Amino acid sequence: MKLTRLRGFQDYLGADARALSMVEDCARTVAYRHALNEIRIPTLERIELYERSSGETSDIVQKQLYRVPRAAEAAGEGDQALRPEGTPGVIRAYIEAGLDRSDPEQRFFYCGSMYRYERPQKGRLRQFNQFGVEIFGRADAASDAELIIMIDEFRRALGLEVTFEVNSLGDAACRPAFRAALLEWGRTHYAELCDDCHQRLERNPLRLLDCKTDAVLARTAPHSLDYLCDPCRGHFATVERLIKIADVPYVVNPQLVRGLDYYNRTTFEVTSSAVGAQSAIVAGGRYDGLVEALGGAAAPGTGFAIGIERTALAISADRYATGGAPDAAIIAIGDAAVAGAIALARELRASGLRIELLSPERGLKALLRRADRGGARHALIIGENELAAGVVQMRDLRASTQNTVARGEVAAALAAARG
RNA sequence: GUGAGUGUAGCUCAGUUGGCAGAGCACCGGAUUGUGGCUCCGGUGGUCGAGGGUUCAAAUCCCUUCACUCACCCCA
């Protein structure tokens, strides 16, 4: 087998595919009830979009971006990349449609595949799907709270046990003081920090907080919550109050930081212990300066993204194992019966039944075996005799009973059996 | 990019001090001419990840390499 799939890319068959659909359908249902509008955007965008939003020093831009080289043809079009996340593209579309000026308050959801060049592991792929929600034009804490409540509805519908962690990173007014304190702390403890943290001190000091090798030491680092200005403090208190009233089981994690540097104020993460080390199945937060940074009018924003594959890992197999077995499998014996079998299948499908038409090339015994293993409740057998008499043999594969049914009555009999 | 583990039939895995490549499951057929599941019998299916070396002889020992998995980094 040479033509294998690429590293980090997955095929999903049977129950695995159903699990993903189930997660996606569930998210769509919740989004529908929240009256969000779907937005579909391209998979490929200009590279600058990601450089300007995610931050040029972030790993996503530095080494995870799938650059699409079209050197000769696209020379004048600028560099392009497969989207590593959805938020920048949604904001670009929002600005490009002029909504930031004409009607800034918008509520979107999107669903699609994202691409990041990383070493795969459990819960991490190079192509993966995200279901995301973005709310523009609202700076109030209630919009943050509503997102978290939405996620809680989503995970309850799937029967997931998860942990909600929330934090506030402050804003342009108070973050500089926190950042300075963190850098100061890092320099003071430089000798005790691990090699990774030495890198973080340069590149992304906030990351010092969630170091795993020096977790004990990291706990002594300054927290953004202690540096919040009054407006930020009030905002966070309101978020907490609202999600508490809504009964969301959350904890404040002062060491929770986000990977992308456009976040401010509220950040949150939903984790499951069932999916491996990459345990975050949903993450999000507020990004008030981002629309403006991407060339739009100043508009606040807040949003989250659900990892579809990671969420699917967390749901128990018995919730999607049964994949809708056929109501009946039709078995045609002899060439003459094939046309009649196809006609019967059409009739039955038109009345809403799920019908599988089995191959006429094999023997009755083999076909009954396939019908049984395919999970069909009934087998409908049509041969020369049945054709002539205008009937079918309807065999109940569960009860092992069989009787002759007039063609016109098959649909009703199957529907009755389905209950 | 770093580290560890694993590669033998479609799947899960045995394979002894180096000596004919195996089992279970799955699939196909038969026992039963047009009647499934259970049972019995039979069959298809292999570049032992790949390349090289040692040896009369390598799935087994040595070297190289590739892939997969998990973890770090990072993140959904």
pLDDT tens for each residue of A352-376? 999 999 988 888 999 999 999 989 9
Q: Topology of A326-418 in CATH?
A: Rossmann fold (3.40.50)
Chain A 278-337 residues whose Cβ is under 7 Å from strand B = 278, 280-283, 305-307, 309-310, 333
- Answer whether A264's CB lies under 8 Å from A175's CB: yes
Helices (H) and strands (E) in chain A, counts: 16, 16
Q: Range(s) for CATH 3.30.930.10 in chain A?
A: 15-174+228-318
Residue with CA nearest to B70's C1' atom: A121
- CA A417 to C1' B28, in angstroms, rounded, equals 32
- Nucleotide nearest A305, CA–C1', reads B76
Range A4-17 average pLDDT: 90
pTM of the model: 0.91
Q: Is the CB of A259 under 7 A from strand B?
A: yes
Average of per-residue pLDDT values in chain A: 91
Q: Is the CB of A122 under 7 A from strand B?
A: yes
CATH of A15-174+228-318 given 3.30.70.100, 3.30.750.200, 3.40.50.300, 3.30.930.10: 3.30.930.10
The pLDDT, as a whole number, for residue A1 is 59
Query: Across the beta sheet with A391-396, what order do the strands follow?
Result: A355-357, A328-332, A378-382, A391-396, A401-406
Q: Please report which helix (H) or strand (E) contains residue A212, including its range.
A: none
Specify the pairing of strand A163-168 against strand A250-252: parallel
Instruction: Summarize pLDDT for A131-175 with one digit per residue, the tens.
Output: 999 999 999 999 999 999 999 999 999 999 999 999 999 998 998
Q: Range(s) for CATH 3.40.50.800 in chain A?
A: 326-418
| SS3 assignment, position A122 | coil
Is residue A226 pLDDT above 90, yes or no?
yes
Query: Hunting for tokens 């696209």 — which residue is that?
Result: A74
Instruction: Summarize pLDDT for A40-81 with one digit per residue, the tens.
Output: 999 999 999 999 887 777 777 777 899 987 665 656 778 899
Q: Is the CB of A258 under 7 A from strand B?
A: yes
Range A93-104 average pLDDT: 97
Residue A307's beta-bridge partner residues?
Answer: A130
